[in-house]
Structure 1
Amino acid sequence: MPAETLATPIPDVARWQITTLRRSAKTPSQSRRAIRLWMVGADAVLLSNAMLVVCELVTNVVRHVPAGVQRDWVKVRLGLAGDFVRLEVIDPGTTDPEPQFTPLTPGSMQQTGRGLGLVAALAVRYGTHFTERGHRIVWADLEPAGVSDTAQDAAGRPAACRS
């Protein structure tokens, strides 16, 4: 499924949580902690998948979005609805091409590039768009029921993004 690149309507959610984090090597782990706090009592598989997705999206901001004056932030937003969870990562924006949610070819030896493929595999919908101010929002919707646990290790932790 290709990413939706047009602005999507704000989903009908029961509750939104948002935090702004300073960009650093610690930001991915801080984003996982925020998700864990916000999703207390959630299904373990859904929680694990949400932490993996947010970590991958935040890591992409830290690695690929140009830094600079007033560009040292990333926002994480979580929307909870009855039948899905919306994760959004908002960054200062970039002129780089749109994120590619295409997984690497099987057996690829590349060290990077798998994150958005994992997001695409775990999400029921995903996409990206720019705000009026030029900030980019990359989002993914996860469903509580029927979510695969293949992205976890034997201890139940996300198999990637453990920084």
Structure 2
Amino acid sequence: ERLAKEEAERLAKEAEEKRLEEERIAKEEKERKLEEERGEAERIAEEEAQKAKESGKSAESEAQKSTDTQDKNKYNPLSTISLNIASGEAEAWLYEHGKVNGLAKNEVDVACALFKHFDEDGSGEIEFDEFSEIIKILLSHKMKPMLVKNYARMSFQHIDADKSDTIDPQ
């Protein structure tokens, strides 16, 4: 009877060790996938930043040609932002505002790349399902799925100031 009890305890211990090992492996796999997704997002961000930098140089010469438009829109902050973006200052503006909100440069890169990546139809707007997927990628390692979903819903409603059910880059 004692031997049977010891054998049962040994088997239970082995089963527990096996379960813990499987959990560890699953966790490592999940972390590896997240790292791959982040690496891909950073790669996309770098490519987009390079494209923006290249197109910013050509847009800058166009912006210099239209000083009349700049004077006309001088007191309209949204027009000023648009002109700054056209003249290649978008990256600096995004990084500055990201820094104010506690985002590192690479996090701003990732956010821009994700916006462009998830804007599947190229409309320049993100719908809730697309936004929810972005939030899931960024926060699933920090929050439980239901919290991620609720956070995405609340954030989307907050960001969608005009209640158009879409988010544009501005």
Structure 1-normalised TM-score? 0.27
More strand by share: 1
Higher relative contact order (CA 8 A, sep 6+): 1
Structure number with greater Rg is 2
Structure 2-normalised TM-score? 0.26
